[in-house]
Amino acid sequence: MSDTGSEELEQMSDEEKALMEQWETMAEEGDGGGDGDAVPAFDSDQEGEEGSTRILNQEEIDSLLGFDDDGMGGGDESGVMALINSAMVNYERLPMLDIVFDRLVRLMSTSLRNLTTDNVEVSLDQVSTVRFGDYMNSIPLPAMLSVFKAEEWDNNGLLTTDSALIYSIVDVLLGGRKGTPAIRVEGRPYTTIETKLVEKMVEVALDDLSSAFDPLSPVTFNLDRMETNPRFATITQSGNACVLARLRVDMGDRGGRIEILIPYATLEPIRELLLQMFMGEKFGRDSIWESHLTQELYKTDVQLQAILGEAIVSLGDILNWQVGSRVMLPTNIESDLELRCGHFPMFKGPVGQKQGNIAVRIENYIEPEREDE
């Protein structure tokens, strides 16, 4: 038995030596074990060398970070960018805004046809929520930024017109022929004529936007100024949430985009109206708050005055009153007394006595008098 055991030990040691030599060869070649089934062994000094780490390509990096090659990308975000913009994704939705912008599209289609005497089609591409700073950094320049003010809400908004639409409007209003694309002259600022023509179109769009909000809340949007540099068109802090509506304006072979940016702070005065699911919805009834208010009203103390009697006395008689003077009131024991809350009569009932106190038993409720219109 001892001879057999020694032979097995010698055989095991030879196998271990062969296995160790194989592992050392694999580590030196750095081929990862060839078949891919074995795990490569490497020393700490060799960590970071070729074969010890896997390098991600650009598509995998973009997918991990959540960047989209499409730029504007209306799809769902993922990766790190999804975590960063999670507050935007879960921000409060305003269903009524979709109806407002749909109404705006119909109004603008008619107004721009009357302005340009051309076949104009306006379509709504997207209504989304963005941060103001992110939107300002994404504006493709050159563009014309129109700052407008909501007078009744005492706050501002932004309307962006891209260069394609600017040159298309200028070409149409100055008599350009149909079927020919607008000529773009890049690398120069917009002239006064171009600015004035675009300003007229912006005023038409703002009038239509005011009309679109009229069924919810009357508001007047007035053009404040026009800028070409986004730095001079700052209307709110960069981290504030805004509603962005992208509109597409097509005039045959010509056209461009209009983007309307309204901060949530501007829409705050009509936030409850915008939360409605449909026009005319009776919104704002909170059953919990309603019951709590009712309970608190029941605990409210109200002072009632019992009118023992009333008499009309001349001022001369009042001046002749002295201590001990007697005033006769047209009230007897069987008469009902009137209880008033302030100047409003509330109840009527007979007078009596209970537990040594004068008491009035309420028997009749006095209906409030309605003023004739």
pLDDT score of 68:
57
pLDDT band at 372 (very low <50, low <70, confident <90, very high): low
- Dihedral over Cα of 352, 355, 356, 360: its sign: negative
Tokens 């409850």 belong to which residue? 272
104, 238: one domain: yes
> pTM for the full model?
0.53
The residues pairing with 254 across neighbouring beta strands, listed in sequence order, are: 251
Residues 31 and 125 in one domain: no
What per-residue confidence (pLDDT) applies to 241? 86
Q: Confirm whether 112 is domain-assigned.
A: yes
pLDDT of 44 above 50: no
Tokens representing residue 18 in the block = 């062969």
Q: Are 96 and 194 contained in the same domain?
A: yes
Position 308 in a domain: yes
Question: 154 with 264, same domain?
Answer: yes
Q: Is residue 293 part of a domain?
A: no
- CATH code, domain with 348: 2.30.330.10
Q: Tell me how far apart the alpha carbons of residues 37 and 83 are, in angstroms, rounded to a whole number.
A: 36
| Judgement on whether residues 61 and 109 belong to the same structural domain of the protein | no
Asked if residue 161 and residue 57 are part of one domain, the reply reads no
Beta partners for 149?
156, 222
Are both 84 and 103 inside the same structural domain? Answer: no
Position 96 pLDDT exceeds 80: yes
Distance CA 57, CA 299 (A): 71
Tell me, yes or no, whether 283 lies in a domain: no
Number of structural domains found in the chain: 3
pLDDT tens column, 338-355: 888 888 888 888 888 888
Q: What is the pLDDT of residue 373?
A: 46
Tens-place pLDDT, residues 242-299: 888 999 988 877 788 899 999 888 888 888 887 776 655 454 556 777 888 888 888 8
* pLDDT score of 311: 82
* Single-letter residue type at 156: N
Decide if pLDDT at 113 tops 70.
yes
Residues 259 and 349 in one domain: no
Domain membership of residue 372 (yes or no) is no
292 in a structural domain: no
Has residue 37 got a pLDDT over 50? no
Range of the domain at 97: 90-274
181 shares its domain with 59: no
In a domain, 281, yes or no: no
Let me know if residue 225 belongs to a domain. yes
**pLDDT category, 38, cuts 50, 70, 90?**
very low
27-41, 44-58, 167-181, 311-325: range with highest mean pLDDT = 311-325
In this prediction, residues 325-332 reach a mean pLDDT of: 81
